[in-house]
């Protein structure tokens, strides 16, 4: 198959949620098919069920492998042959299992480089009783566990978290100079390489409300100071209430919050447009809208597809940005001689002392009496 457009894989998410509704709405405009070739990982029968329930006009081409995908069409790749019972608006073990089958198939194709970008629609993480993170699962399946920094973004801010989901009492134990420095560098790299922000400014939030606890004085401030030598522009620590309440986030390209609620509550509360999540730091390009399967509005044609559309845009941009960013480093110029010579060569090519004195004598003006 000759295909010059970026192949974007999109998983259908929980089959009782709003996944198919968002997919149908996103690709209802021909402009989206000019940007990429979409491959929906799902079930033709489930897709047809949702299309009928929503009374929507939505065309898709059924394929069995990526190589059959065609430009200018919504390609639906069959991930399961068995029938899936659809109960729109009700999370069930069957709908969760269908979501995971589609995700596993898509991750395998991504790992084999059959697709360039993967956009995952939300699953019900509590359906299997484990409550695990979809992003952690994806990293494990891709063979890059614990490598990603989840960057949450919209038109107003981009936020990363210094710690994973954990009890508040355990957060301070994770706040060390090394850990905070690593998170700041990871965010800095993501902003430069993935989003092509030349010299990103990063705001670091304080852990304590008054920003003068031992975490701030002994950890966060020293971490920021030592990164100055690496030309990383990090500032803070800022108290969260002042930072978000006075709209200081507008002056920064990225924000590092210390724990989940500190970053995610203002991110979800302040209307910054379409929210997306980017798994930066991986060898693969993975994005996602940040909402849930939205069972409460499933099947009612009330879903807003803007976050899915944004996640696709960001995924395409990141894929292109990484190529442009990495290309100059593939064949670096050899160092010039004066950049790599050692002190021995400096001595070798220096002017001998006695010869230097004779040159000075010749240049000195004659005494006139």
Confidence of residue 333 (pLDDT cuts 50, 70, 90): low
176 vs 166, more confident: 176
Over residues 182-212, the pLDDT tens digits come to 999 999 999 999 999 999 999 999 999 999 9
Residue 344 has pLDDT above 80, yes or no: no
Q: Are 14 and 99 in contact (CB under 8 A)?
A: yes
What's the rounded Cα separation, in Å, for the pair 145 and 133? 12
Residue 368 has pLDDT above 60, yes or no: no
Residue 367 has pLDDT above 70, yes or no: no
Q: Are 174 and 316 in contact (CB under 8 A)?
A: no
Over residues 1-58, the pLDDT tens digits come to 444 799 999 999 999 999 999 999 999 998 999 999 999 999 999 999 999 999 999 9
What percentage of residues in the chain have a pLDDT greater than 90?
78
Residue 128 has pLDDT above 80, yes or no: no
State residue 2's pLDDT score.
46
Q: What is the pTM of this model?
A: 0.86
Residue 246 has pLDDT above 90, yes or no: yes
Q: Are 123 and 114 in contact (CB under 8 A)?
A: no
Which residues neighbour 101 within 8 Å (Cβ) at sequence distance 6 or greater?
Answer: 79, 80
Sheet-wide strand order for 276-280: 61-63, 75-78, 36-42, 6-11, 117-120, 285-289, 276-280, 149-153, 158-161, 254-257, 201-205, 233-238
What's the rounded Cα separation, in Å, for the pair 362 and 369? 19
CA 224 to chain CA mean position, Å:
23
State residue 327's pLDDT score.
82
H helix or E strand, kind and range, residue 221? helix 221-226
How far are the Cα atoms of 44, 91, 125 from residue 14, in angstroms, in the given order? 14, 8, 10
Residue 347 has pLDDT above 90, yes or no: no
What's the rounded Cα separation, in Å, for the pair 15 and 122? 10
What's the rounded Cα separation, in Å, for the pair 270 and 252? 16
Confidence of residue 130 (pLDDT cuts 50, 70, 90): low
Exposed e or buried b per residue across 279-313, where buried means at least 16 C-beta atoms within 10 angstroms of its C-beta: bbbbebbbbbbbbbbbbeebbeeebbbbbbbbbbb
């Amino acid at each position: 198959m000759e295909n010059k457009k970026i192949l974007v894989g999109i998983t259908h998410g929980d089959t009782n949620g709003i996944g198919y509704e968002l997919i149908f709405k996103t690709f209802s405009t021909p402009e989206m098919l000019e940007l990429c070739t979409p491959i929906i990982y799902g079930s033709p029968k489930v897709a047809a069920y949702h299309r009928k329930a929503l009374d929507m006009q939505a065309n898709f081409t059924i394929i069995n492998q990526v190589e059959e995908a065609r430009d200018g069409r919504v390609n639906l790749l069959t991930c399961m042959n068995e029938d899936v019972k659809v109960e729109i608006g009700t999370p069930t073990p069957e709908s969760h299992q269908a979501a995971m089958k589609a995700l596993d198939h898509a991750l395998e194709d991504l790992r084999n480089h059959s697709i360039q970008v993967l956009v995952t629609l939300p699953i019900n993480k509590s359906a299997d009783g484990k409550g695990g993170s979809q992003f952690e699962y994806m990293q494990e399946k891709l063979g890059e566990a614990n490598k990603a920094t989840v960057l949450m973004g919209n038109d107003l801010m981009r936020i990363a978290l210094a710690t994973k989901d954990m009890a508040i009492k355990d957060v301070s134990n994770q706040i060390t100079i090394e850990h905070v420095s690593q998170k700041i560098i990871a965010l800095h790299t993501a902003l430069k390489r993935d989003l092509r922000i030349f010299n990103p400014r990063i705001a670091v939030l304080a852990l304590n409300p008054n920003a003068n606890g031992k975490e701030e004085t002994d950890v966060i401030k020293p971490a920021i100071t030592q990164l100055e030598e690496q030309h990383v522009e990090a500032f803070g620590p800022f108290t969260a209430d002042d930072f978000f309440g006075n709209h200081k986030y507008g002056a920064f390209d990225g924000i590092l919050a210390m724990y989940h609620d500190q970053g995610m509550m203002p991110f979800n509360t302040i209307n910054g447009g379409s929210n997306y999540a980017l798994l930066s730091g991986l060898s693969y390009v993975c994005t996602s809208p940040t909402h849930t399967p939205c069972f409460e509005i499933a099947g009612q044609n009330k879903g807003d597809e803007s976050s899915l559309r944004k996640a696709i845009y960001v995924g395409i941009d990141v894929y292109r940005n990484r190529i442009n960013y990495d290309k100059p480093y593939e064949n670096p110029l050899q160092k010039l001689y004066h950049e790599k010579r050692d002190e021995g060569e400096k001595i070798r090519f220096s002017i001998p002392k006695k010869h230097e004195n004779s040159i000075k004598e010749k240049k000195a003006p004659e005494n006139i009496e």
